[in-house]
Amino acid sequence: MSITVVGSINIDIVALTDQYPSRGETIFGKKIEYFSGGKGANQATAVAKLGKQVNMIGAVGNDFHGDKLVDTLNKARVNTDFIKRSQFLATGTAIITIDQTAENTMLVLKSANEDLLPEDIESAFSEINQSEVLLVQMEVPQETVIRAMELAKKKGMYVVLDPAPAEGITVKALDYADVITPNRQETKHMIGIDVIDKETAIEAGRAFDKMGVKNSIIKMADKGCIVYQSGEWEYLPSIPVTPLDTVGAGDSFAGALACAISDGYDLITAAKFASIVGALKVTKLGAQTGIPTLEEVEAFCKERGLTYYGLEEKTF
C-alpha cells in the first residue's frame, strides 16, 4: 500500500539574512542556497524518508531545474512515474528569505505547476490502485486539486488537505477532505478567525465543523496545535527546539500525518508523530534536505525522552 501526493514541485532559491529589508531598501545578505522544494514534493519526500511508498503527481518544466528536481525525488525513493514535463512553462520557482529568527517569506512563481491538469490526474489515478491516503495542497490549479480529491474518494482513500498557501485556497475543496491542517494565516483567510491561542483554535475547529469538515488540526506554530474531531478536541503542545529554517516544517508535518494515518492510527496519535517530525525539521536547513529520516526521528526521541506510535514498546 502507498500514499499519493498531488502538488507542486519547485526549485527553492533561499537567501539568509539577519533582517528583512524595508520596502525600497537595499541591504547585504549572508548566504544564498538552492534547494529542491515545492509543497507537494516536500510532502512526498517526507513520506519517503519516513519509510512509506509514495507516488508524486506534479509537473516540472522541460529544463535543467526540472531534471534536477525529478532526480532528487528519485534518490529519495519517491515514485516519479506520474510527473508531467510541461512543454511550454519553466519549472516552478520559490524565492525565499530567511531572517535570524528562522522565519521566512516566500514569493512563489508557479509556472509549470499551472500545467498540471485534471486529465493528468485522471491518467495517473487510472494506474494507482493500491494507495490508502491522498495528500493535497493548493499550489497547483484548483480544478486539478478538486479532481484528485473526487477520484480519491471514489477509490476509498483518506484525503488529507493541507490548505496552503492561503492565496490558493478554494472552499470547495473542503467538501472532499477527511481532515484539514490549516495554520494561522490559512484559517484566517478561510473563515476569518485569527488563531492566537487554544480558545480561538477551538473556535476555528467548530467553524470548520459547521462547514462540513468534522476533523481539523489547527496549527499554531510554536504554540502547538488543536486536534478537533466532531465536537471533541485535544491540545498538543509544541516541542521546544532551536529553529534554523521553518521552510518545509508544515510539509513535514503533513507527510508524517499521512504516514501515521496510513498505518491505521487515530488522528491524535498521528498528530503527535507529525509534531515530532515537524519540530525536528526546523532544526535543519532546506525544505527537503532538512526533512528527517525515521532513524533520525527515533534518535531525536531518545535524546528528548519522547515517544511515538512506532516506539511505544521502547523505553528511553
User: Which positions make up the binding site?
Assistant: 10-12, 38-42, 139, 183, 245, 247, 250-251, 281, 284, 286
Alpha helices in 76-230 (DSSP H): 118-125, 142-154, 184-191, 198-210
**Per annotation, catalytic residue among 99, 251, 263, 266:** 251
Dihedral Cα 250, 254, 255, 260, nearest 10 deg? 140
CA R_g for the chain: 18
Angle (CA) 88-92-93 rounded to 5° is 135
Catalytic annotation present for 251: yes
Nearest to 34, CA basis, from 51, 12, 4 = 12
Q: How far apart are CA 217 and CA 219, in angstroms?
A: 6
Residue 156: how many other CB atoms lie within 10 Å: 8
The three grid cell numbers given for residue 39, joined into one nine-digit string:
509543497
Single-letter amino acid code for the residue at 178:
D
**CA-CA distance, 197 to 194, in Å (whole number)?**
9
Contact present, 12 and 96 (Cβ < 8 Å): yes
Task: Provide the annotated active-site residues.
Answer: 251
